[in-house]
Amino acid sequence: MTAWILAIAIWLVGWYLNHRLANAALSDSRAYALLIPLVFGVTLILIWEVLVTMLDVSAVILPPPSMIADRFAGSLPLLWADFEQTILKGAMTGYLIGALAAFGVAILADRSPFLTKGILPVGAFMAALPIVGTAPIFVKWLGSDWQSKAAVVGVMVFFPILVNTVAGLRDTTAMQRDLMRTYGAGYWPTLFKLRLPAAMPFIFNGLKIATTLALIGAIVAEFFGSPTLGMGFRISTSVGQLAMDMVWAEIIVAAIAGSFFYGLMALVEKRVTFWHPSQR
């Protein structure tokens, strides 16, 4: 009973604080925009901690945040090794291969309006399919090390990037293209000086969607077979050993990696498409 009262009290304090912050005069400033969700997050974690420890919830069901933090801090080398195997080797390699292949196909198909017209619906259709399911097939073909994960990731990120690149390359007006013609620019100068820059907002949209897909592909593919290392491997074995604190620690790593990767892409986008209305 006291646990619930305490939890509700924490909730009310957190809510009151945020209510004041959100309706304060400066609430649209950057600092407030960071502070408010932070207070909300801390409130949730405190309630989680209080309820789990005071109600004696078994750590097999839900470990308290303090225990997860402990485990996280205590197994940094292991987590780093998993991160290196899954994210740096599997996800990053696959992401690069998939993105380059998508650009390549988009540019090759670009000369034929007939092909681009076909790629758009088929690519959008493929992007909606559960491609993660190809993981067991790739593991069988390429072995259980990171190469098979990179292949799954490559296929998963290929279609969203392809569709966005093709759509982006079509995003110039006849007026703009005519202007390039009057400058005497041929196909390639027009592509590099007008159409590719104009396609960048679309391309980055695809690249940003693909960041999450890359991590999902690399982690889920490890459920089908992996060396004794990697985030997906650690998650599935820790679940088997009922070591939920380790699972949560891996999920924290995945969350940090995912946000960082996405943030990196958003940052590059800001640099590249500084001219676009959405960035000004």
Partner 1 sequence: MNRILPALTIVVLIVGFWALAVIPMNAHLTADQAQRDGIVVTPEAPAARQEVSGLVLAIKNPQIIPLTYVQTRPRLPSPHQVVAELWETTVEKRITSKRSLVYHGWVTLSATLLGFAIGTTLGILLAVGIVYNRTMDKSVMPWAITSQTIPILALAPMVIVMLGSIGIQGLLPKAIISAYLSFFPVVVGMVKGLRSPDSMQLDLLRTYNASGNQGFWKLRLPSSIPYLFASLKIGISASLVGAIVGELPTGARAGFGARMLVGDQYGQPLVTWAALFAAAITAAALVAILSLIERQTLRSMGMKAA
CA distance 232 to 161: 25
Applying CB under 8 A, among 4, 9, 12, 15 the residue interacting with partner 1 is 15
DSSP annotation of 228:
S
Contact status, residue 270 vs residue 255, Cβ threshold 8 Å: no
224 near partner 1, judged by CB under 8 A: yes
CA distance 138 to 147: 9
CA distance 213 to 238: 23
Minimum Å gap between C-beta 107 and partner 1 is 16
Find where tokens 């290196």 sit.
Answer: 84
User: Please, which of residues 16-45 interact with partner 1 by CB under 8 A?
Assistant: 18-19, 21-23, 27, 32-33, 36-37, 39-41
Alpha helical stretches, state H, 60-184 = 65-74, 76-83, 92-110, 113-127, 135-142, 146-169, 174-182
Binding mask 244-263 for partner 1 (x = CB under 8 A): x--xx-xx--xx--xx-xxx
267 near partner 1, judged by CB under 8 A: no
Interface residues with partner 1 (CB under 8 A)? Answer: 15, 18-19, 21-23, 27, 32-33, 36-37, 39-41, 58, 60-62, 114-119, 121-122, 125, 128-130, 132-134, 136-137, 139-141, 211-212, 215-216, 219-220, 223-224, 231-232, 235-236, 239, 242, 244, 247-248, 250-251, 254-255, 258-259, 261-263
